[in-house]
Structures are given as structure tokens and as C-alpha cells.
């Protein structure tokens, strides 16, 4: 193992042998798991990933118990249980730092990303240590969100993100209501068939293995002030402030100002680590300890993504 504090790195040296990526992973699974446990994330470089099928096999080999995505924010292609394409998010728009599904009642503990086609420029899946982020945030901000949690409001609409049918994997309103009731989500239907949801979740998580306290939420990413100004202005003019596709609040209902959201994003940036994708890279991430993003890019980009080991914070 090459010595990197974060993330760890393993060199596969499997490119010239007959074994496929899943075979190499099976023989080094304990080493991969140990690196994730010690560092929060590990980059495996040098796997012979020669196409999508090989990337899916690599993700499957490392994933453990797969987890299906519910309440998605952007559409993905579904390959098999727990394995997807990366989200179809505009290439020129960033996906800011977040923990996958941190707004849901059940989250994946493990994420795996396998690179089929690296972009011509940009497109990094950057990482940030959430315990380091927590340590650098103002104590007053942390106290506020530990006391009240954080609230996410969603208004499913045709402008941004997924439809409610895509997000919940069903066109049956009764099934959506059943899911929401079981997972602490308030659901309200509108006369035109649109759906508004609201959920309040903890903003700080204690890692079940390490005992670390982690800033675990999507308060900044899903807040109106993180949107590009022209996008926010357009959505406000078309939908109004009560019907934005998503927005975040303190759990007591108090809104966030731009300065607070900007500061959270600045602290993330301070702790962000970037490594450009190479074909065949496999990135395995402890989703509870490590936030990730997706930066704007040019050219084709194909990353296979796996969600595994369901966990209820």
C-alpha cells in the first residue's frame, strides 16, 4: 500500500494478468476493507476494467450487501441491485459535497465507484473527511443543528431532478404514502398531482465503529443558496419560494442565510482531496465518515456506482 493519509491507495498491478477485476478484488478484499476502516476511503488503481460489465463486476465484488436507492434527486440508469450509473446531472453543474442519502431514514454505509471512461477534463469525485469538517465549523452552528437536526423540503416538479414516480420507484400513491409513513417523511399531495415532502434528520452522526462525530447531512448542497444564482432566480420566479424543488432549514424551521451556507461550503473546500479519474480506478468510500462531490467536466464520463450495507443512523 502506498502511504496516503486520505484516501489510502492500493496498486492492483493486474493489467497484464488473465484475472479480471473481480478476481483481483476477491483476493485483496481484506486489504481493501482494512484500508477503508483505517482511512475512510481507498483508491484502487490499475484494475483491468475494459468496459461497463467489468466495472459492474468490480463494484459487485467489493460492495457487500447491496442497497436500492429511494428518494433519488437525479435519475440514474439501474444495472442491478444496488448498482447504478452515476446520476444524470448536467456536466457543467457541480454536485456539492454530501453524504449519499443522508436525508433518508436508511443510508448506505459503503459506496463504490468504478471508472469506465474518465472525462477529458474535470469530473473529479472529490472527498472530504466529515470529522475534520465538523471540527472546523463554528460551535454555535453545530450546537444549533445538533439540538434541532436539519430539515429538507422537496417539491417534485418537472423543472429539476426526478419525478416522484422515479424517486420512489412506483406510480402508486398509496405505496408512496406507506413508504413515507414508515420512514418519517411527511407527504402532501396537491390538486395537480404534485407531491411535497418534508423530513427532519440528525445533522451530526457518531460513527458506529470508530466513535468519531461526523458532520453527516446535505444542509449546504440542497440549500437554495448553493444553487447557481441564475438557476435560483429562475426557479424562484417560476415556482415561488414555497415550491422550490428542494431547500434546507434548521429542524426548528429557521431558514439559512447565504453567509452560513457559504461558510459550510468553504469548510468543505478546506478539507477536500482531489484525484483525477483514470480508467479502471475503483474508489471505495465509508459514506458515514467521508463526503463526496462531483465536479463539472468536459467530454464523456462513465462511472459505475454501488450503494451497500444499509444502515439506520
In whole angstroms, what is the distance from residue 208 CA to residue 20 CA? 34
User: Is residue 186 a contact partner of residue 251, using CB atoms and an 8 Å limit?
Assistant: no
Q: Which triple of cell numbers denotes residue 45? A: 488503481
- Strand (E) or helix (H) holding 85: strand 83-85
| All domains of the chain in start order, with CATH | 8-90+100-120+276-311 (3.60.130.10), 131-267 (3.60.130.10)
pLDDT tens per residue across all 313 residues of the chain: 333 457 999 999 755 455 678 899 999 999 999 999 999 999 999 999 999 999 999 999 999 899 999 999 889 999 999 999 999 989 998 999 999 999 999 999 999 999 999 999 999 999 999 999 999 999 999 999 999 999 999 999 767 778 999 999 999 999 999 999 999 999 999 998 899 999 999 999 999 999 999 999 999 999 999 998 998 998 899 888 888 999 999 999 999 999 999 999 999 999 999 999 999 999 999 999 999 999 999 999 999 999 999 999 9
Bridge pairing between strands 107-117 and 282-286: antiparallel
Please report the pLDDT score of residue 18 as a whole number.
54
Please report the pLDDT score of residue 157 as a whole number.
78
Q: Within 13 A of 56's CA, how many CA atoms are on the CB side? A: 12
Q: Is the pTM here over 0.85, yes or no?
A: yes
User: Is residue 295 a contact partner of residue 122, using CB atoms and an 8 Å limit?
Assistant: yes
**Of 302, 299, 307, residue with least CA distance to 92:** 299
* DSSP 8-state code for residue 2: B
Contacts of 3 (CB under 8 A, 6+ apart): none
* DSSP 8-state code for residue 243: G
In whole angstroms, what is the distance from residue 227 CA to residue 235 CA? 10
Beta pairing partners, 298: 121
- Strand (E) or helix (H) holding 34: helix 21-39
Amino acid at each position: 500500500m502506498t502511504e496516503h493519509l486520505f484516501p489510502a491507495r492500493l496498486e492492483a498491478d493486474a493489467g497484464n494478468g488473465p484475472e479480471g477485476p473481480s478476481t483481483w478484488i476477491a483476493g485483496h478484499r481484506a486489504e481493501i476493507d482494512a484500508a477503508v476502516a483505517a482511512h475512510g476511503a481507498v483508491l484502487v488503481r490499475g484494475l483491468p476494467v475494459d468496459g461497463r460489465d467489468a466495472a459492474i463486476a468490480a463494484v459487485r465484488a467489493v460492495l457487500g450487501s447491496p442497497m436500492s436507492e429511494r428518494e433519488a434527486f437525479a435519475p440514474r440508469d439501474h444495472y442491478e441491485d444496488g448498482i447504478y450509473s452515476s446520476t444524470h446531472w448536467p456536466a457543467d453543474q457541480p454536485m456539492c459535497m454530501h453524504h449519499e442519502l443522508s436525508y433518508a431514514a436508511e443510508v448506505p454505509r459503503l459506496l463504490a465507484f468504478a471508472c469506465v471512461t474518465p472525462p477529458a477534463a474535470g469530473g473529479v469525485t472529490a472527498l472530504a473527511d466529515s470529522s475534520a469538517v465538523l471540527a472546523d465549523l463554528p460551535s454555535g452552528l453545530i450546537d444549533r443543528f445538533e439540538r434541532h437536526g436539519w430539515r429538507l423540503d422537496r417539491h417534485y416538479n418537472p423543472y429539476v431532478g426526478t419525478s416522484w414516480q422515479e424517486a420512489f420507484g412506483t406510480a402508486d400513491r398509496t405505496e408512496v404514502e406507506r413508504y413515507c409513513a414508515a420512514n418519517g417523511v411527511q407527504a402532501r399531495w396537491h390538486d395537480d398531482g404534485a407531491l411535497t415532502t418534508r423530513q427532519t434528520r440528525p445533522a451530526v452522526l457518531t460513527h458506529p465503529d470508530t466513535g468519531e462525530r461526523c458532520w453527516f447531512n446535505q444542509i449546504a448542497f440542497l440549500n437554495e443558496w448553493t444553487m447557481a444564482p441564475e438557476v435560483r432566480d429562475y426557479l424562484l420566479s417560476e415556482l415561488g419560494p414555497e415550491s422550490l424543488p428542494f431547500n434546507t432549514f434548521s429542524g426548528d424551521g429557521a431558514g439559512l442565510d447565504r453567509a452560513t451556507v457559504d461558510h459550510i461550503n468553504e469548510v468543505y473546500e478546506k478539507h477536500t482531496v482531489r484525484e483525477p479519474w483514470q480508467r479502471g480506478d475503483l474508489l471505495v468510500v465509508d459514506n458515514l465518515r467521508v463526503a463526496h462531490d462531483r465536479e463539472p467536466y468536459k467530454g464523456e464520463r462513465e462511472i459505475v456506482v454501488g450503494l451497500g450495507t444499509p444502515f439506520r443512523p
